[in-house]
Chain A
């Protein structure tokens, strides 16, 4: 019997100055990606989510992205951009599938759902955007600086919720972060983006 295909396979992915990137991501993996601003980290995530035209092949559990509708791919490969967008007046209007975890697990009060989006702080928006993404039950999370606006306590809460999500759903995450301490806490594989090339590092960043 052949081995089950890996969760996410990226074969020679190229987009503008990015790549070629070849990567295999398994269930439970947490890959950190660091690198200077403008090195192409966000562009890489966008290409993996199939939001930009690209060369190369993307496979989820052996199934090529091109074999499924683009919106199905993006539901299963959830990208969280650094800035969240809200297109309806009320927070709760953006949630159709319920909350993936109770809001107090990430330091938010349940009353927030009844509020207009305009009243949210940037930290509240960032955490709610993560909740909105997780409520889609994606199999791979692409997180672009998901705790950039958060204090250390809430950063810890968000890290715990993501770790629990990976465990409960056999999911994986590619996590863009600038914080070496955070990377050391959450990741099991380490990568550095340098002029569009993704290079594997050991834990000390060498």
Chain B
């Protein structure tokens, strides 16, 4: 593997700077956002590099668990912020976080114990990157699906209530929109699996190859990750949308749009 020096990174950074200067010239107001985002990348990734280094040097279940929950709570917040008409109060945070806990955590532990079989099973070199990949993708799926569900419920409130008025249960009245929401949450990973290797070389595999891993080994890991992500996203989305659809109705099956925040 070619070792990167900090000078190499500075050279790459000048490309971003040149782009920022060009945007100023074109009077687009994106340049400051661009520079801030680039600085955030450098700082955040450097910090996580140090954290991972420390974790790898002190293999301890407590530390790995702490890190895992920290990642989960950040992802839970991100899921909430990405929804325009999210649930108010604790529901907005809990729905996404709980669904990710069920799906990403369970699947990561399963993969670590049953598939990878490292000793100890929580070896952070495997556990943290795996959980990170799963959380990152499950997070997007859940955010898209929940956004779709709450958005449609708001837009189609007259239809939903008309069905309630005709004696349908809340469950039946929202079933179509629940299905659509699950679908939209799963489309990205289905597309990614279908296009993998043809249109795009997945990032993780590319990274391993750059780091000198044999391509066939890298590909095997990529396939594993893809399957885990698909399962995690699918389960997380199903759980989140089911909870969300349930929470749109009260105990008398009234549509409770006042539980959603106005954008």
Contacts and interface: CB of A to CB of B under 8 A. Distances in A.
B252 A70 contact: yes
A43 to B, nearest CB: 13
Interface centre among A50, A53, A69, A70 (most CB of B within 10 A): A70
Contact of B165 (A53, A72, A81, A86): A81
B250 A51 contact: no
B23 interface: no
Interface residues of B, number: 18
Interface string B230-263: 0000000000000000000010111100000000
Nearest to B165: A79
Contacts of B165: 49, 51, 74, 78-81, 133
Interface of B: 156, 158-159, 161-169, 176, 250, 252-255
Contact of B162 (A70, A75, A87): A87
Interface of A: 49-53, 69-72, 74-75, 78-81, 83-87, 132-133, 136
A132 B167 CA distance: 11
A122 to B, nearest CB: 15
A52 B254 CA distance: 7
B159 A74 contact: no
Contacts of B252: 50, 53, 70
A85 B158 contact: yes
Given A70-B252, A71-B168, 16 more contacts: A49-B165, A51-B161, A51-B164, A51-B165, A51-B254, A53-B252, A70-B164, A74-B166, A74-B167, A78-B166, A81-B162, A84-B162, A85-B159, A87-B156, A132-B166, A133-B166
Nearest to B253: A70
A136 B254 CA distance: 19
Nearest to B158: A85
A173 to B, nearest CB: 15
Contacts of A52: 254
6 nearest A-B pairs in the assembled complex, by CB-CB distance: A75-B167, A85-B162, A70-B253, A70-B252, A85-B159, A79-B165
Contacts of B164: 51, 70-71, 74
Given A50-B254, A71-B253, A87 B159 contact: yes
Contacts of B158: 81, 83, 85
B108 to A, nearest CB: 40
20 contacts: A49-B165, A50-B254, A51-B164, A51-B255, A71-B164, A71-B253, A74-B164, A74-B165, A81-B162, A81-B165, A84-B162, A85-B159, A85-B163, A86-B159, A87-B162, A87-B163, A87-B176, A132-B166, A133-B165, A136-B167
A4 to B, nearest CB: 24
A95 to B, nearest CB: 11
A85 B161 CA distance: 9
Contacts of B161: 51, 81, 85
Contact of A53 (B166, B167, B254): B254
Given A87-B162, A133-B166, A70 B254 contact: yes
A51 B162 CA distance: 10
Contacts of B162: 81, 84-85, 87
Which residue among A78, A80, A81, A85 has the maximum number of chain B CB atoms within 10 Å of its CB? Answer: A85
Contacts of B168: 71
